[in-house]
Structure 1
Amino acid sequence: MKDIENQKLLTDTGIIEFKDRLALAQEGMSGNAFAKKVGMSEAVIRDYLSGKTYPSLNRLALIAKKCDVPIEWLATGKGECRLSSNNDLQKIIYIPAYQRHSAKSQIDDNKGVKNSVIDSLPFDLSCLKYHEFKIEDLYVYWAKGDSMSPTISDNDTLVLNTANVTPFDGYIYIIQYGDSLSVKRIQNHGKYFLLLSDNEKYPSIQIDKACSENDFKIIGRVICILKDLS
Structure 2
Amino acid sequence: MSALQYEDLHQQVYRILKQMILTGELAPGIKLRQEELAEKLGVSRTPLMKAFSKLEKEMLIDMIPRRGACVHKCSKQELLDYIDIRMRLEPLGARNAAKNHSPEGLEAFRLSLNKYEEAVSKGDQSLIKEADYQFHMRIVDLSSNKVLGQIISSFNIVIISNQRGLLKDPIISLNEHKSIFRAIESRDADAAEAAMTLHLTGLKARIESIESII
Q: Flag whether TM exceeds 0.5 (same fold).
A: no
TM-score, normalized by length of structure 2? 0.30
Q: Looking at secondary structure, tell me which structure has more strand per residue.
A: 1
Q: Looking at secondary structure, tell me which structure has more helix per residue.
A: 2
Select the structure of larger CA radius of gyration.
1
Q: Which has the higher contact order (CA 8 A, sep 6+)?
A: 2
TM-score, normalized by length of structure 1? 0.28
